[in-house]
Structure 1
């Protein structure tokens, strides 16, 4: 049963069809080769001469190989190999052949496909009628006199007639075996000739890296803007609830702060969603250090802000990343310090870098670990590294200190990449 499935199963039939398609694709080249052979030989006995047909076949293959160098041949060949040869998609390349190596491989596959397809197609057209005639020859006397079987002189012996049906069936089985072997050979060569080249793999890695960078950027923006807003709103709402009956003025101020925080966060969220939609408005999204006053006023914790130099004069890219770093630092300080601990913030413009230092007292109790939490410090480090800076965070002299150093001047290529991302 396994042998029959290998010869006549669904996969074998699809591969046989794939070879017949290759033979059909070979026909235009073969006809051109036939014309060239006819011109060289004067057209005498062109279609009855086996040597002339083989010469036309030999001329057709180089012409097919030249066609295989066109870039669009590879995606068409890959689609056919996936659908008919049963080759796993992961082993085949995507897109047109761009490099010389990919085009040479594709031309090799295309030539091999058409060569094997031409042989199998020709055999499929010629052999079955002959095999059927041999199979039914003992039962029909008229079949023994046809030109196809070379006259009755050879077919007078009874044992030849007795073996004729078996011979006809063996011819058909041999044809199926040849088609199965040719199809298996093509399937085995497909990953080598149609598989991704080193350049294709590098391009795929770069695409995945770019997609991952965009996802990480969106995750950082959502974490820092929305996460900070939710932390501040939670602290302000909790404080208002505790003094609701005895301090209506504080409750009113807390509700105003909640309103302002949510309004500012909705604007930031629109900018992030615009980047996600790739609507072309992502190059200037997000607040910078010029909006730091509103952030400090509504963060939900007392902040002692010190500045050296003019932080608002730094480049836009550095200013936006610095704002997000301060935002995340304030969110962590409010979350772990309970919202009442004072926070010291220093932003200093040094000779070649922008320094951000944030300090807040360590909490009396360890912060409760949140499922999926702990991404804030990682996001801060990623922001700094993307600009060529560095960060440090940890306990220092009884306080939690976060230090970030960002270059004042970002290389143009890095700046464009950061803007796109």
Structure 2
């Protein structure tokens, strides 16, 4: 096992992909070496007295070296290259992180480390590999220089001949270069997360973006649950009533079928609106981490509640509206509409037969909404998603909601403040 571990750097594909990364870093460092050579030559040529040339070349070196490292695109390029060649998994950077100077400083450190390490490995490869291969080929060459090199190579203590000693020295140089490249690549791979990975600010921004995305998904789920659930419940009630009286009261059955048609159209409108939001978000129309637009169509408001419940029998839902709902901000009015819709849907699905009382009071400071219905039997329990959606809607506007039995009735009371909104 120890032998296999020792051979692993020679056989592992990442050794050579990381070697490519190091050599590229060394190649990037070549212009800096050339600039330094010009710098030194200029000083020597002027006897070290040309201060203006010294300052100019020093400033140029700093500008070129630092300027490349702090470019906003440098981090994205470095992360892509690190993933591909160093094999380090790094998360996607936050869109605005590349412009922050703390991130730029870290990228600059990574740039310097990559160039210096890559330059050292490039010089080692350019010297050691050709020299090592040349030593391996010496015993098979008849030139006088090769024979003189073999003659001067001391034999090992075990009595290995000069030719074998020369080959061994060449192989040691080549293998030592491979191990050096593997070690340098592994070192950069361990350093990459610290310099190219997410900062604390990035992690906070990513957490907030995930929270916004989760809130948007919950909003869409509530809209689908409330609108489609209400539509299906209303259509079921109308279809059942229409089927029972179809022969003895065709006019009532016709009205029921019209209600089913209108309810289905409204449900399709809501569904198309929500699906349109989903498609826009998937195509990047809202940008990463941005809030989705209101999932409920703009026409849904408290003023629409009387029309909403006409799909039920005339004596099933009684709506009492006190105050002027037009004064209520659209966002609050829309949420109150959905809360009443879901509460009545739950009452029809899980409550007993009997009138459902909906009372809405609009004051200068808040809306009070109460839905009161006969309690159903325990054999018709719900999933709880409807009440959870109601509580989430009310919480978005810092309101309160209570739901529970009161004698033989089930009462839902929601209060939504809206003063100053």
Please report the TM-score for the alignment, with normalisation by the length of structure 2. Answer: 0.84
User: What is the DSSP-based 3-state SS (H/G/I as helix, E as strand, rest coil) of the residue aligned with 2:371?
Assistant: strand
Deviations 1:346-394 (CA, angstroms, capped at 9, x unpaired): 111234111101100101343144xxx4211111111111112121111
Do residues 15 (structure 1) and 18 (structure 2) align?
A: yes
Structure 1 position 5, deviation (Å): 2.8
Where does residue 291 of structure 1 map in the other structure? Answer: 304
Do residues 358 (structure 1) and 371 (structure 2) align?
A: yes
Aligned partners of 2:360 and 2:369 also within 8 Å: yes
- Shift in CA distance, 393/368, structure 1 to aligned 2, threshold 3 Å: closer
Where does residue 316 of structure 2 map in the other structure? Answer: 302
Q: How many pairs does the alignment contain?
A: 389
Aligned partners of 1:75 and 1:94 also within 8 Å: no
User: What is the DSSP-based 3-state SS (H/G/I as helix, E as strand, rest coil) of the residue aligned with 1:11?
Assistant: helix
Structure 1 position 60, deviation (Å): 7.0
Aligned partners of 1:8 and 1:176 also within 8 Å: no
1:99-118 mapped onto 2 (5 Å cutoff): 99-118=100-119
Structure 1 position 152, deviation (Å): 5.4
Where does residue 47 of structure 1 map in the other structure? Answer: none
Where does residue 374 of structure 1 map in the other structure? Answer: 384
| 1: CA distance, partners of 2:274 / 2:254 | 30
Where does residue 195 of structure 2 map in the other structure? Answer: 193
Please report the TM-score for the alignment, with normalisation by the length of structure 1. Answer: 0.84
User: What is the DSSP-based 3-state SS (H/G/I as helix, E as strand, rest coil) of the residue aligned with 1:187?
Assistant: helix
Structure 1 position 201, deviation (Å): 0.8
| 1: CA distance, partners of 2:188 / 2:61 | 19
Deviations 1:278-301 (CA, angstroms, capped at 9, x unpaired): 479956634111211211212456
| 1: CA distance, partners of 2:320 / 2:347 | 17
Do residues 329 (structure 1) and 330 (structure 2) align?
A: no
User: What is the DSSP-based 3-state SS (H/G/I as helix, E as strand, rest coil) of the residue aligned with 2:75?
Assistant: helix
Where does residue 86 of structure 1 map in the other structure? Answer: 87
- Shift in CA distance, 85/290, structure 1 to aligned 2, threshold 3 Å: same
Where does residue 51 of structure 2 map in the other structure? Answer: none
| 2: CA distance, partners of 1:360 / 1:15 | 70
Where does residue 71 of structure 1 map in the other structure? Answer: 72
Do residues 132 (structure 1) and 129 (structure 2) align?
A: no
Deviations 1:57-109 (CA, angstroms, capped at 9, x unpaired): xx97995354222221111111111111111234x745552322211111111
CA RMSD of aligned residues (A): 2.8
1:200-215 mapped onto 2 (5 Å cutoff): 200-215=202-217
User: What is the DSSP-based 3-state SS (H/G/I as helix, E as strand, rest coil) of the residue aligned with 1:395?
Assistant: strand
Structure 1 position 263, deviation (Å): 2.1
| 2: CA distance, partners of 1:394 / 1:152 | 98
User: What is the DSSP-based 3-state SS (H/G/I as helix, E as strand, rest coil) of the residue aligned with 1:72?
Assistant: helix
- Shift in CA distance, 181/64, structure 1 to aligned 2, threshold 3 Å: farther
For structure 2, list consecutive stretches of 5 or more residues without a partner in the other structure. 48-56, 156-160, 287-291
Q: Mean alpha-carbon deviation: is it higher for 5-14 or for 283-292? A: 283-292
For structure 1, list consecutive stretches of 5 or more residues without a partner in the other structure. 45-55, 412-421
| 1: CA distance, partners of 2:8 / 2:136 | 23
Deviations 1:131-152 (CA, angstroms, capped at 9, x unpaired): 1222222332426269xxxx75
Structure 1 position 21, deviation (Å): 1.0
